[in-house]
Amino acid sequence: MIQIERLTLREIRLPLKEPFEISSGTVTDRRIFLLQLRDVNGVTGWGECVAGEAPNYSAETVETAWLAIREWIAPRVLGRTFHHPREIFPVLEENFRGHNMAKAAVEMGAWELAAQIQACRAQGYRKIKVKIKPGADVAFVAAVREALGPEAPMMVDANNAFSLNDIDLLKKLDAFDLIMIEQPLAWDDIVRHAALQKQLKTPICLDESITGLDKAEDMLALGSGRIINIKPGRVGGFTASIAIHDFCAKNGIPVWCGGMLESGIGRAHNVALASLPNFVLPGDLSPSSRYWERDIVTPEWTMDAEGMVTVPLDKPGMGVTVNLDRVDELTVRCEAIAATRSK
């Protein structure tokens, strides 16, 4: 049983070790929106909103998510009794469109309050992910393939950078024995991806296009792709992620868990999700040191030499401890919202 008494919203600034570039821009200093949940017994859990500072990956931003949580999400969950975290998602969906990243931050934090969420230790990689865009495409992939050799497991991620006008160029990627081509076309497209997949031997993986179970169903019906990247922060949290996972497992669609430059808190949520059985492809569960000089959790996330992440089942919550001194040091804005009455 969960009764959330207080939500504390925090924005921190966490510098990347090196610039992170995708087709829509470059990030050097990450604005991260954290959410601390406290129940009536004083137990705390953490969520992370994966929205960016600008509406380039999605329409949501740190600012819109902050507003959505304060004005519309907090009043729906504070002081209300939930018997299981699964009950939160329907409450946030009722007459409340969009804002999945804001919803996910609260919903996933609630799962941490209620359950023994899995985490990991280790250090190593099981796939190579190459970001591509017009002008850095076929020749770029060819150079990487030559450098790594024919056996290296490799995929490319286009982050919506191409259109069907580029179909001849994209067909050339079939020559490189890629695991997948992730989200080559528009973020909200299902139909054109189906036309493209018919022309490619390489599986298309949909990322941004999968905003919920209905879009996964559409992908299967239309043949828009053969793999799905489930990012819990993108689809609205664990309840929606599990529904997509179960649908894909039933229909033979492999899934994997993508990353969005999360801190160790968001990473813990991804690790928990990726422990489900149909996450059969290597995910973006990078160790803390991949992006951060110093993370905000203890122990920091690692992987073993085989690229495997161990889920510690002997710890409640995320399996890692939030370093509150580190969070306080990085916090540039903070707002607490308390329950006013029981629901």
Active-site amino acid positions:
131, 231
144, containing H or E segment = helix 138-148
Tokens standing for 81?
Answer: 């009794």
Comparing C-alpha atoms, which of 170, 174, 210 is closest to residue 190? 210
Residue 70 is given by DSSP the state: I
Judged by phi (left if over 0) then psi (alpha if -120 to 50, else beta), residue 210 lies in beta
The Cα–Cα gap between 275 and 311 comes to 8
3-state helix, strand, coil in the chain (%, to 5): 35, 25, 40
Which residue is listed with tokens 């989200």? 183
The dihedral through the CA atoms of 85, 188, 258, 249 has a sign that is positive
The Cα–Cα gap between 141 and 180 comes to 13
The count of residues in the chain is: 343
DSSP 280-321: -S------GGGTBSS-SEESPP-B-TTS-----TTSSBTSSE
Report how far apart, in Å, the C-alpha atoms of 301 and of each of 11, 23, 50, 124, 319 are: 21, 27, 18, 11, 10
Report how far apart, in Å, the C-alpha atoms of 251 and of each of 105, 187, 197, 205, 254 are: 29, 23, 18, 15, 9
Q: Count CB neighbours of 26 within 10 A.
A: 9
The Cα–Cα gap between 126 and 61 comes to 31
